[in-house]
Structure 1
Amino acid sequence: MIELTVDAAGLARSRFVVSPLHEVASTLLPWGLRPGPDADPWVTRARRVLRRARLPLLSELALDGGGYVPDFLSPHPAGPSPTVEEELERVRSTPPERVLGELEALRDGRPCNGLDGAELPPEVRRAMGRGGRYVALRAAEELRRYWELAFAPHWTDAKAALDSEVDRCAGVLARHGADGMFNSLHPGIRWAAGALRVDSRFTVGIAAPLVIVVPSLVAGAPGVTVDPVRGGRRPPMVSYPVRDRPATPAPASAELARLLGPTRAGLLSALARPASTTQLAARHFLSTATVSYHLGVLHQAGLVARSRSGRTVLYRRTAAGTRLSAIR
């Protein structure tokens, strides 16, 4: 078990993050290598891409068993919802000494080439020979290609599901406090007496200045990422699998399309979970102005309602909209 002791000030600074590169790097871990039967289909497709595409550095860093994947591949995000380009730039700008230090940690983190950590994989060794700066640039380029091939087509829906989970946690926090919120994340994560306990095969106790919480659609179990560099100051990141994933909405029926028109019927059917105008526009390949117009019509008809979440306006189906969308 990993125990993170957090004082009141640290608890106040703790935050949630939706991180695209965290999802990418998670597919290099055992749960990404062998997705469970309930994993999103794009996770399985991502693993096929990694095997078939020419991504030699990432392929060697992927784990077939337990162990450690270098943290610079999924840097600690500065904000709550960084873009993939922002995170890739942070990978490129990783200090060379940190890159090499984290790769050296592989010797202790897992067996390499069957030699009990005596040697690093050949592609990793060759890249390290050209310096930490080269490794960072090479890793960022392979991550970008991996992202474009396997993740970008699915990220809009994936991010909407992760944002929805963060909104759920915010509601639990407001109603039941921090202990209720942490205890709602996963059965393997528990908060009690000022400590966050995460099930693990390792036994570690850490005094954490704060905790970064990362919901994931890829992770198969809770995990804790700690700074592998001795004396490092990065706060721990706790990741956990999102359990109550919204079901993929069924397409609009022909009858509903005849009644409302195909665009409005498609938007109403897509609102099985709350979404913004921008999210709906990306999913349906429409302009935001077109989506906004049709949502306005649905809102006037009482079929959708809207509410504000931060700076974003989210739309959801009303009870009448749900009944109407069930027409087949």
Structure 2
Amino acid sequence: MIELIVDAAGLAESRFAVSPLNEVAATLLPWGLHPDPSAAAWVARARRVLRRAQLPLLSELALDGGGYLPDFLSPHPNGPSPTVEEELERVRATPPDRVLGELAALRDGRPRAGLEGVELPPGVRRAMARGGGHVARQVAEELRRYWELAFAPHWPEAKAALDAEVDRCAGVLARQGAAEMFNSLHPGIRWADSTLRVDSRFTVRLGVPLVIVVPSLVAVGPGVAVDPVRGGRLRPPMLAYPVRDRPSAPTPPSAELARLLGPTRAGLLGAVARPASTTQLAARHFLSAATVSYHLGVLLRAGLVTRSRSGRTVLYRRTPAGSRLAGRDV
């Protein structure tokens, strides 16, 4: 059990973040090796990319069992929605002594957390001999290649699902308070008596300044990244947890719905159970963006879909009325 003690000020400063690099790093953990059956197909495909591509450091650091993954591979998000380029630059700029210190922690273990040391793979040892700065630069380059091969084509849809989860939590927070919001994240996460308890095989109890909450489409269970930095200061822990509302392939519309709305419009209504943009829908349905925009406009005026803005992108999603018409749960 991991227990994070957060006072009222820390609770007020705790925040959510959507992190592309956290999703990449999560596939290097055991839950990335054995993804949840409900996960999108690209999650399992990412590990196959890792095995085939020339990514020596990432392949050696990937954990097929329990253990510790160096935290510099997945920097704590310093904003609500950092880009992958911003996060890769932070990996590249990791202080060399921190890189070597975290790799030494992997080698020597962490008795307080119940982590035993491991023999470092030869490629990692050779990279360490060239210095922490070299390791950081090589890892950043391999993460960039891994991202481009396995994640970039799927990120717009994945981010829309993660943003929708943050919006859901914001609604719970506004209507029911912070305690209920934390308790709604996952059965293995509980809030009571100023303490956030997270199910874990490790035993850790810490007072923390705040918590950064990161929803994930890769994770199959909650996880906490919490480590001291130089000087004994404690970085805010990052709490990652699996979202329940995962994007999936749309179900073909029924013949009845297709006759009522027309096959194109019915297919689009079925596809927006999760937020999606005009561009995404056009690519999935092999339609022009103008055609998709026209049909979405009809559905919008009929009250069957709603739209909201995420950055520069306009996302469409079924309304409860649209879900009832489509014969699906809200």
Pairwise same-fold verdict (TM > 0.5): yes
Q: Evaluate the alpha carbon distance shift between residue 99 and residue 270 of structure 1 in structure 2; reply closer, same or farther with a 3 A threshold.
A: same
Q: Evaluate the alpha carbon distance shift between residue 50 and residue 313 of structure 1 in structure 2; reply closer, same or farther with a 3 A threshold.
A: closer
> Alignment length, in residue pairs?
322
The alignment's TM-score, normalised by the length of structure 1, stands at 0.86
Aligned residue in 1 for 2:186: 186
CA offsets, 1:127-146, max 9 Å, x none?
11111111111001111111
Aligned residue in 2 for 1:315: 316
Q: Which amino acid aligns with 2:296?
A: L
Matches within 5 A, 1:40-55: 40-55=40-55
Shift of 1:287: 7.7
Measured in 1, the distance between the counterparts of 2:237 and 2:257 equals: 49
Tell me, what secondary structure is at the counterpart of 2:187? coil
Tell me, what secondary structure is at the counterpart of 1:146? helix
Q: Evaluate the alpha carbon distance shift between residue 310 and residue 10 of structure 1 in structure 2; reply closer, same or farther with a 3 A threshold.
A: farther
Q: Evaluate the alpha carbon distance shift between residue 172 and residue 56 of structure 1 in structure 2; reply closer, same or farther with a 3 A threshold.
A: same
Shift of 1:103: 1.2
Aligned residue in 1 for 2:141: 141
Measured in 2, the distance between the counterparts of 1:85 and 1:285 equals: 30
Shift of 1:309: 7.3
The alignment's TM-score, normalised by the length of structure 2, stands at 0.86
Tell me, what secondary structure is at the counterpart of 1:49? helix
CA offsets, 1:165-189, max 9 Å, x none?
1111111111110000001111111
Matches within 5 A, 1:163-174: 163-174=163-174
Aligned residue in 2 for 1:121: 121
Measured in 1, the distance between the counterparts of 2:211 and 2:218 equals: 20
Indicate yes or no: 2:159 matched with 1:197. no
Measured in 1, the distance between the counterparts of 2:108 and 2:283 equals: 44
Shift of 1:276: 4.7
Q: Evaluate the alpha carbon distance shift between residue 284 and residue 129 of structure 1 in structure 2; reply closer, same or farther with a 3 A threshold.
A: farther
Shift of 1:300: 2.5
Shift of 1:274: 3.4
Q: Which amino acid aligns with 2:4?
A: L
Is the contact between residue 156 and residue 283 of structure 1 (CA under 8 Å) also seen in structure 2?
no
Q: Which amino acid aligns with 2:156?
A: T
Aligned residue in 1 for 2:113: none
Aligned residue in 2 for 1:235: 236
Measured in 2, the distance between the counterparts of 1:240 and 1:28 equals: 16
Aligned residue in 2 for 1:3: 3
CA offsets, 1:193-236, max 9 Å, x none?
00101111111111110000111111121111012545144210
Q: Evaluate the alpha carbon distance shift between residue 237 and residue 302 of structure 1 in structure 2; reply closer, same or farther with a 3 A threshold.
A: closer
Shift of 1:325: 4.8
CA offsets, 1:283-310, max 9 Å, x none?
5677877654543233224432345679
Aligned residue in 2 for 1:37: 37
Aligned residue in 2 for 1:98: 98
Q: Which amino acid aligns with 1:97?
A: D
Aligned residue in 2 for 1:269: 270
Aligned residue in 2 for 1:304: 305
Q: Evaluate the alpha carbon distance shift between residue 285 and residue 23 of structure 1 in structure 2; reply closer, same or farther with a 3 A threshold.
A: farther
Q: Which amino acid aligns with 2:209?
A: P
Indicate yes or no: 2:88 matched with 1:88. yes
Superposition RMSD on alpha carbons, in Å?
A: 2.9
Tell me, what secondary structure is at the counterpart of 2:190? strand
Shift of 1:251: 4.1
Is the contact between residue 102 and residue 229 of structure 1 (CA under 8 Å) also seen in structure 2?
no
Structure 1 stretches lacking a partner, 5+ long: 111-115
Aligned residue in 2 for 1:132: 132
Shift of 1:43: 1.5
Q: Which piece of structure 1 moves more, 233-242 or 52-61?
A: 233-242
